[in-house]
A = this chain, B = another copy of it.
């Protein structure tokens, strides 16, 4: 039966990431197994390993897409409509909105032993760092006279705090910090900044 499951290798690769993304979206990252993927695509288990070095690399590719979506959600916030602190909260709300609407794909960002040498991880890292820019800009609007390094540090701290709070949620600590409380907690953090 073998030979040419699709026109190009790149096409197969994309189809696999599509399928992986769909599985994660519907049933969570733990449902993404080599056999489930193969079955969904109607291919053999081994085929995955002709395209990806390991299963986790596939998650890394799906994560890339998720981060890209987050970036687009953040960049879609109207910076002219919100003033100073409100802008930060608008960013936070946009992010919270994405998380609640995409729980499974978002939670997948925190699973797996990601290979630090993998291409997807490096890409994800640089794209994440680019998100800091938005926060820095908002902070600079609030404190125009603060020096750059201070703003960078604040942006990192704020981002880490927000991301961290949400990641606590992702690991089932809902009882400690419910979704409703998360927004409140973030607001406290931001307004006190």
From residue A31, how far is it (CB to closest CB) to chain B in Å? 13
From residue A122, how far is it (CB to closest CB) to chain B in Å? 9
From residue A111, how far is it (CB to closest CB) to chain B in Å? 8
Whether B171 lies near A110 (C-beta < 8 A) is yes
A172 and B172 alpha carbons, distance in the complex (Å)? 19
For chain A, residues 75 to 133, give those with C-beta under 8 angstroms from any C-beta of chain B. Answer: 110, 113-114, 116, 125, 128-129
From residue A107, how far is it (CB to closest CB) to chain B in Å? 12
A171 and B163 alpha carbons, distance in the complex (Å)? 13
Copies in the complex: 2
A41 and B158 alpha carbons, distance in the complex (Å)? 46
Interface string of A136-178 (1 = CB under 8 A from B): 0000000000000000011011001111111110011001110
Whether B157 lies near A185 (C-beta < 8 A) is yes
Whether A172 lies near B128 (C-beta < 8 A) is no
From residue A112, how far is it (CB to closest CB) to chain B in Å? 9
* Residue positions of A touching B, CB distance < 8 A: 110, 113-114, 116, 125, 128-129, 153-154, 156-157, 160-168, 171-172, 175-177, 181-182, 184-186, 188-189, 192-193
Leading 4 A-B pairs by shortest Cβ distance = A164-B164, A161-B161, A157-B185, A157-B188
